[in-house]
A and B are shown apart, each in its own frame.
Chain A
Amino acid sequence: MFKKISFLSLLLGLLIAPSAYAHFHYKINSTAALQANDKKQLQAIAMSWVYDENVSGILLRSGQPLNELAKGIMDDLSQLNYFTRLTLNGKTITTKKVTHYTLKKIVQNKKNLLKLSFVLPLKSPLYLQGNTLGIIHTDPGASASLFYRNTNHLITGPIFSSFCKPDVKAVKDFKNGEAPEIVSVNCKS
C-alpha cells in the first residue's frame, strides 16, 4: 500500500508540476512618439510606459520617493538597453543614454499606476524618408512584455506623418522574453 501511495504521489507531483509552471511576468502599456530636428531627421523617440497594477504596486510599496525610484529604474534600464532596440531597414540604430525622464503616479480605470516617461536619443539623427523604422522591445529577464496594442500609441508627429505610416502587428503565441508585437514605421511611401 505504502509503495502504491509513494508512486502515485510522485507521478501526480510530476504531472502537476509542468502545468503549474509559471514565472513572474508583467505588462507595460507603451506609447512612442517620434521626435524630429530642424532638418526633419529623427533625433529621438519619446516613450511613455504605464506599468501594470501589480508592478506599479510593488514599485510604490518599495517606499522610495518617486524621484529616487525613477533614478533607480533608469539606472537599471540603461544596463538593459531600455528594453529597446531600434532598427532602420533591419539594421540596429545606436542610441544614447537617457537623461530626460519622469515618473508619475496616475489613475487609470480606478487603478493606481506608475507612468515612466523618457526620451531615448539617437546617437546620430537619421532621415526616415524611404526607410522603415523598427521598434523592438524585449526584456532579457523575460519578465516584462511591452504592448502598443494599436497604431494610436505610435505617434509619428507633424513632421513624419505626411510620409510615414505606423504599424503594430501582434505576434501570435509569442514566448516570454520575445517581443509581443512587431512595431514599425514605414516611411517608404
Chain B
Amino acid sequence: MIEFSSTWFLDGFLHPLETPSHLILLIGIAVLLGQQGGVNLVRNFLLLSFSIIAGFVVNHYLSPNTNNELILLVLALLVSLLIVLRLEYKLAWVQWLVAVLAVISGLILGLDSSPIIIPGLGANTFYNWLFGAAVSIIAAVITIALISFMIRNILQGVILRVIGSWIATSALFVLTLLLTKTTL
C-alpha cells in the first residue's frame, strides 16, 4: 500500500526548483502564460498540467533517450523571446503557439523528472516523489503566472519584457555551460 512520505514528497518538490533548466523554463512559461492572460490563461495552464503528467507517464514506460536538458533550455530561450516580443494575444496564431509551447514544455518537464527509487520502497518513493514534483511545478507556475497576469500592463508591459530578457540570458548562460560541458 502506498503511503504519504514527506521525505520523498519534499525531494520531488525541490527537484524542479533546484534544477536550473527546469526552474528557468517554468519561470519562463509561467510569465508567458500570465502575459498572454485573458481567457486562455486557464486553458493553457490546464494544457501544461496535463502535459506534465503525460511526460511522467511516457518517461516511466518508455524512458526515451533524449537530451532533455538541452531541449528544456532551448524551449526556455524561445519562450523568453516571445515574452520580450510581447505578441498580440488576440491573434489566433499566437494563441496556438503559446498553447503548443505549454504542451511541449509540460511534456519535457515531465520527461526529465525521474524519481529516485530505493529498492524495497519502489512504489512508495516513486509516487510520492512524482506527486511532490507535480505539486511544485504546478504551484510555481500558478503563482508566477498570476503575478505576471496582474502586472502585465504596468509600464506598457516593460516589467515582464525585461524579466523575459533575464530569462533569455539565464537560459543562454546555462546552455553555454551545458554545451561546453562545464558543471555548475
CB distance from A155 to the nearest CB of B (A): 24
Chain A contacts for B58, CB-based, 8 A: none
A74 to B114, CA, bound (A): 21
Cβ contact within 8 Å between B162 and A7: yes
Interface residues on chain A, number (Cβ under 8 Å): 32
Chain B contacts for A19, CB-based, 8 A: 184
Given A2-B159, A7-B166, A24-B11, verify A14-B120 contact (CB < 8 Å). Answer: no
The tally of CB-CB contacts under 8 A between chains A and B is: 75
A34 to B117, CA, bound (A): 29
Cβ contact within 8 Å between B163 and A10: yes
Interface residues on chain B, number (Cβ under 8 Å): 30
Chain B contacts for A24, CB-based, 8 A: 11, 116
* A159 touches B (CB below 8 Å): no
* A189 touches B (CB below 8 Å): no
Cβ contact within 8 Å between B18 and A21: yes
* B98 touches A (CB below 8 Å): no
For this complex, 20 residue pairs linking A to B, each with C-beta atoms less than 8 Å apart, are: A3-B158, A6-B159, A7-B162, A10-B167, A13-B23, A14-B23, A14-B24, A17-B18, A17-B19, A18-B174, A22-B18, A23-B116, A26-B118, A58-B121, A62-B121, A62-B124, A73-B119, A77-B119, A80-B119, A143-B116
Among all A-B residue pairs, the 4 with the closest Cβ atoms = A76-B119, A73-B120, A18-B184, A72-B120
Interface positions of A (Cβ within 8 A of B): 2-3, 6-7, 10-11, 13-14, 17-24, 26, 55, 58-59, 62, 69-70, 72-74, 76-77, 80, 141, 143-144
